[in-house]
Amino acid sequence: MTIRFDNRVAIVTGAGNGLGRAHALLLASRGAKVVVNDPGGAVDGKGGGHAAADKVVDEIKAAGGIAVANYDSVAEAATAANIVKTAVDAFGTVDIVVNNAGVLRDKTFHNMTTEDFEFVVKVHFLGTAYVTHAAWPIMRAKAYGRVVVTSSNSGIYGTFGQSNYGGAKLAVVGFMNALRLEGQKYNIMMNALAPIAATRMTESLMTPEALAKLRPEYVSPMVAYLCSEQCQRTGDIWSAGAGTFARIEYREAEGLRIDGRAPTIEDVAENIEKIADVSASRVFRTSGEEVAAVVSGS
């Protein structure tokens, strides 16, 4: 089986470097028409320019692919919508959205300004929502769409000094969980990527040995699969890095049930180890499934 994207239009945000560049190059090499979005700023989001996006577009064209550049920020609803407009103006539609754009402003929460917190959340979480919101009506109308949101092990597992980044990266999972239910009957598949890669945002944290293994292009095959017609999975979190691919899921312990009386604080304290024991656990695919299990006692 050879997976291709002929006649599909893809938007990749933050595609001027690192993971986004690798995603855009791979999709284009398999026939997708790609909007390469990047405002050209530094890792912290400051500054800007056209060079980063233009360079990737030139790479795609030199390899025989089709691409256009866009320099808008995802962090404002109007400019995010313009990214989708670029796709429609250039290629007539949009089939694929890879929400990859991101910034870092790492500090301990004690030393972080609220502006640094808000800006990181705005780019990662609201930026994902804004671009997806602009593309959503097009996908619904054509009953086809593939959307990837970019999460992170910093949100799923935690990283010191990244309360803003980690919070935003877990927020996009909650966003995906709702939209996968809303999009399913319109053949819109939503998935989350938790990449492990050496990029401008992570290279200062890694050893030379890790940098050699964690090439961004080793992540992109998972992204491309999630963007393909062949992908019929939706609502999952996928880890990818160094040639390793895995699904991540949340599990809920069997827990403790108290019937016939109101539970007390002491009930919780005396049974906390049983409540926390996940050796027997359950997986729920919707909040309603969890509520039904709790109410029924099953």
pLDDT of the residue at 202: 65
List the one residue out of 71, 68, 24 whose CA is nearest residue 47: 71
For residue range 134-184, what is the model confidence (pLDDT) as tens digits? 999 999 999 999 999 999 999 999 999 999 999 999 999 999 999 999 999
pLDDT, tens digit, 9 for 90 and up, residues 78-103 = 999 999 999 999 999 999 999 999 99
CA dist 180 and 174 (Å) reads: 10
**pLDDT at 203 (0 to 100):** 64
> What's the pLDDT tens digit per position in 233-253?
999 999 999 999 999 999 999
Fold match, 9-248 / 252-296: no
Helix (H) / strand (E) containing 70: strand 66-70
Catalytic residue, chosen from 165, 218, 225, 250, is 165
What DSSP state is assigned to residue 17? S
Residue among 75, 73, 58, 74 at smallest CA distance from 24: 58
> What backbone torsions phi and psi does residue 191 show, to the nearest 5 degrees?
-140, 160
Stated pTM of the model: 0.94
What percent of the chain stands above pLDDT 90?
Answer: 90
Q: Is 187 helix (H, G, I), strand (E, B) or coil?
A: coil
| pLDDT at residue 22, as a whole number | 98
CATH architecture of structural domain 9-248: 3-Layer(aba) Sandwich (3.40)
| pLDDT class of 205 with cuts at 50, 70, 90 | low
Q: Is the pLDDT of residue 207 over 90?
A: no
Q: What is the pLDDT of residue 209?
A: 75
> Bridge partners of 146?
96, 189
Structural domain boundaries in the chain: 9-248, 252-296
* CATH entry, 252-296, from 2.60.120, 3.20.20, 1.10.3470, 1.10.287: 1.10.287
178-197 mean pLDDT: 97
Q: Is 219 within 8 Å of 38 (Cβ atoms)? A: no
Tokens, residue 105: 């402003």
Distance between CA 127 and CA 120 in Å, rounded?
Answer: 10
Active site residue 225: no
Name the average pLDDT for the chain: 95
**Per-residue pLDDT band at 204 (split at 50, 70, 90):** low
CA distance 283 to 167: 23
